[in-house]
Structure 1
Amino acid sequence: MPIEIKELHIKINVDESSKGQKSVATFGKEEKSALIASCVEQVMDILEMREER
């Protein structure tokens, strides 16, 4: 006999206070260019895979 769930209660606690320092990554011009080039290459690969289908 299957069990049917009619209600589901979910409770979460969000702590918005900062308990530590947030680190911010800084990139140089060359690192930004390399990152952008990598992202573009991955997007182009995905688009090529979609066209093959």
Structure 2
Amino acid sequence: MPIEIRELVIRAVVTEGPSESQKLERLLAEIKREILEECREKMKELARRGNDR
């Protein structure tokens, strides 16, 4: 199950050390990974459904 975006925002804000822009870059990269993973899973599911016909 994908991580909620709200949790990602909290994680990025709480992280100490890097600058705000670095935190945001990490956050956006994590969100992108989550979205891409979800899309891959949906595509696999659609492919399986297509093969069942």
TM-score, length of structure 1 as denominator length: 0.52
Q: Which deviations, in whole Å up to 9, do the C-alpha atoms of 1:5-47 show, x marking residues without a partner?
A: xxxxxxxxxxxxxxxxxxx512400000000000000000000
Q: Which amino acid aligns with 2:50?
A: E
Q: Does 1:37 pair with 2:36?
A: yes
Partners in 1 of 2:51 and 2:8 — Cα distance? 38
4+ residue segments displaced more than 4 Å: none
Q: What is the CA–CA distance in structure 1 between the aligned matches of 2:33 and 2:8, rounded to whole Å? A: 14
Please state which structure has a larger fraction of its residues in helix.
2
Measure, in 2, the Cα distance between the counterparts of 1:46 and 1:35: 17
**Count of aligned positions:** 30
Give the alignment's Cα RMSD to 1 decimal: 1.2
> Which structure 2 residue ranges, 5 or more long, are not aligned?
1-5, 10-26
